[in-house]
Structure 1
Amino acid sequence: MEKIITYEDFTKVDLRIGTIIAVNDFPNARRPAYQLTIDFGDLGIKKSSAQITTQYQKAELLQKQIVAVVNFPKKQIANFMSECLVVGAVKADDVFLLHPEIKVRNGAVVS
């Protein structure tokens, strides 16, 4: 186990469900990545960069629901502004997106 955090620390992380509505190549990224556009319902549309090109084809990502942290500050990645952090499980160097088992409302809180 790494660092121990309190429950209060955990509650500061705003994890939400969103649906990927657009996927574009990201040729300016240092490592192969996609630019994702994600619908978070009442929270609006946010963009993210994800290094998942070896695990996922663009077509299979469209309309996929994912888990993301939505309360990080925006981050400039090459010529792209990332507005949220998509969450995944890491196996070796590959990232596999976390997602709900059933379709849920965009913007739903993950706890």
Structure 2
Amino acid sequence: MNETISFEDFTKVDFRVGTIIEVNDFPEARHPAYQLTIDFGDLGLKKTSAQITTLYSKEDLLNKQIVAIVNFPKKQIAKFMSECLVLGAVDGKDVILLNPETKVKNGTSIS
């Protein structure tokens, strides 16, 4: 377990549901990854990269709802600017995406 944080620290993290609307290969990444464009409703579109190529095809990901953190600072990855962090459970080298059980409105907050 990592360092314990306060509830106030936790409330600063903005978790939202979004729908993946575009998936592209990311050959410049150090490890196999996709570039994703995600629709967060009123928050707009955000781009990110994700090392999820072992369990998900591009077709599997298109129109899939996911959970992401949307208020981290942007991060340069190769020649690509990541604007959010998609969440997943890590099982060895595989990442299993977190997603709502039922379809919800894009931009819905997670609490």
**After TM superposition, is the score higher than 0.5?**
yes
CA RMSD across the alignment: 0.5
**What SS is found at the alignment partner of 1:10?**
helix
Percent of aligned positions that are identical? 73
1:3, distance to aligned residue in structure 2 (A): 1.0
How many residue pairs match? The answer is 111
Equivalence for 1:32: 32
Residue 48 of structure 2 aligns to a residue whose secondary structure is strand
Q: How do residues 6-85 of structure 1 correspond to structure 2 at under 5 angstroms?
A: 6-85=6-85
Paired amino acid for 2:51: Q
Q: Which runs of 4+ in 1 moved over 2 A?
A: none
Q: Structure 2 matches for 1:92-111, cutoff 5 A? A: 92-111=92-111
5+ residue gaps, structure 2, are none
Give 1:11 deviation, angstroms. 0.3
The gaps in structure 1 that reach 5 residues or longer are: none
TM-score scaled to structure 1, two decimals?
0.98
Distance 1:21 1:53 in 2: 17
Q: What is the Cα deviation at residue 77 of structure 1?
A: 0.3
Decide which moves more: 2-11 or 36-45.
2-11
